[in-house]
Amino acid sequence: MRVYLSEDYKSMSRRAANIISAQVITKPDCVLGLATGGTPVGTYQQLVEWYKKGDLSFAETKSVNLDEYLGLSPRHEQSYRYFMQSNLFDHIDIKPENTHVLNGLAKSPVAECAAYNQLIRDLGGIDLQLLGMGHNGHIAFNEPGDNFGLETHVVNLTESTIEANKRFFERREDVPRQALSMGIKNIMNARRILIVVSGEEKADIVYRAFRGPVTPDVPASVLQLHPDVTLVGDRAALSKLVEAGEPVCG
Ligand code: GLP
C-alpha cells in the first residue's frame, strides 16, 4: 500500500484527482469505479476544473458506481445517481450511456444486483476503484460483519451508517434502511484501488483498517490483502497511522 499524506482537504482532493486523471490520460477508455459521500466531492471538483481547462477528457471513459439507496428514484436529491450527476457527470464530457449507477427503484433488487455484476464483467472489470470509508469502516455499503465473498447485493444499513448519513436528509426517518451495494469481492477484483479519507473523526478507523487485523468487523481492513492500494488522506485522518510509524509519501 502507498500512503500519501496531504496537509488539508484541498490538497488531498488534488492528489486523488491527479491519480484519477493519470488513469484516464494513460487509458482513456478505462473503467472507473466511483464513490459518493462527502469525502470525494473535492476530488470531483478538481477533475471538473481540469476538464474545463481542457487538460482532461472523459469522452471514452466508462464508470460504475459503488452503491445506491434502495427506494430512492434517480431524481431524488439524495440518490447517488443525483449526486453523481450534480457533482461530476453533468460537468464533464462522459457519455451518459457510459455511466452506471444501480437503480434504487428496480422491481427486483436481486435481479438488479445480478445484472450489475454481469455489467462489470462485460466492461472487462474495473481499472481504478475510488473509495471513501464510513465511520464504522464500511466501504461502499459493506457494513461490519458482511461476508467478504459477496458481489453486488442488498444491504441492511446499520444504525451508525444511518446516523452518519442523516446529515444529508431532512429527517433521520427519511434515510433509507436498505441499499444496493457492490460487494467486497467486486471491489477486490478492481485492478487498482484509491481510497480517500479526511478529518480527525476518521483517524481511529483508518488506523484499525490498515494496522489492525483483517476482519469483517472492519470491512476496509480487507484492502490490506489487495496488491495495489493507494491511500490518500489529510494529516488529521492519517494522524494515528503516522504515529504508529507507517511510511508515508508527502
Ligand atoms: C456512504 C457511502 C460510502 C462512503 C461513506 C463515507 O455511506 N456509501 O461509499 O464511503 O458514505 O462518507 P463520507 O465520505 O461522507 O464520510
Here the CATH number for the domain that contains residue 140 is 3.40.50.1360
Which has the higher per-residue pLDDT, 245 or 93? 93
CA of 108 to the centre of ligand 1 (A): 25
Starting at the earlier edge strand, list the strands of the sheet with 67-69. 67-69, 178-181, 153-156
Domain count, the chain: 1
**Model confidence at 58, in pLDDT bands (50, 70, 90)?**
very high
**Model confidence at 144, in pLDDT bands (50, 70, 90)?**
very high
221 touches ligand 1 (CB under 6 Å)? no
What average pLDDT does the structure give for the chain?
Answer: 97
Q: What is the 3-state secondary structure (H, E, C) of 148-173?
A: CCCCCEEEECCHHHHHHHHHHCCCHH
Is residue 249 in a domain? no
Is residue 215 in a domain? yes
| Ligand 1 atom 12: residue of nearest CA | 37
Is residue 127 in a domain? yes
Task: Give me the pLDDT at residue 14, please.
Answer: 98
| Predicted structure pTM score | 0.97
| Ligand 1 atom 6: residue of nearest CA | 134
Measure the CA–CA gap between 104 and 98, rounded to whole angstroms: 18
| Ligand 1 atom 3: residue of nearest CA | 140
The count of other CB atoms within 10 Å of the CB of residue 6 is 22
Residue 167 C-alpha cell reads as: 446529515
* pLDDT above 70 coverage of the chain, percent: 100
Catalytically active residues are 67, 136, 138, 143
Burial 27-44 (b: 16+ CB within 10 A, else e): eeebbbbbbbbebbbbbb
Measure the CA–CA gap between 240 and 250, rounded to whole angstroms: 16
| Ligand 1 atom 10: residue of nearest CA | 132
181 touches ligand 1 (CB under 6 Å)? no
Is residue 37 in a domain? yes
**Residue 26, domain extent:** 2-243
Is residue 20 in a domain? yes
pLDDT one-digit tens code per residue, 192-244: 999 999 999 999 999 999 999 999 999 999 999 999 999 999 999 999 999 99
**Model confidence at 1, in pLDDT bands (50, 70, 90)?**
very high
Probe residue for ligand 1, chosen from 129, 163, 165 as the CB with the greatest number of ligand atoms within 8 Å: 165
Is residue 250 in a domain? no
Task: Give me the pLDDT at residue 204, please.
Answer: 98
pLDDT one-digit tens code per residue, 99-135: 999 999 999 999 999 999 999 999 999 999 999 999 9
Measure the CA–CA gap between 162 and 178, rounded to whole angstroms: 10
Is residue 248 in a domain? no
CA of 181 to the centre of ligand 1 (A): 12
Positive or negative CA dihedral for 233, 234, 239, 245? positive
Is residue 207 in a domain? yes
**Model confidence at 250, in pLDDT bands (50, 70, 90)?**
confident
Closest ligand 1 atom, CA of 199?
A: 16
Residue 187 C-alpha cell reads as: 471491489
Task: Give me the pLDDT at residue 100, please.
Answer: 98
Closest ligand 1 atom, CA of 35?
A: 9
CA of 135 to the centre of ligand 1 (A): 8
Residue 217 C-alpha cell reads as: 468487523
pLDDT one-digit tens code per residue, 25-57: 999 999 999 999 999 999 999 999 999 999 999
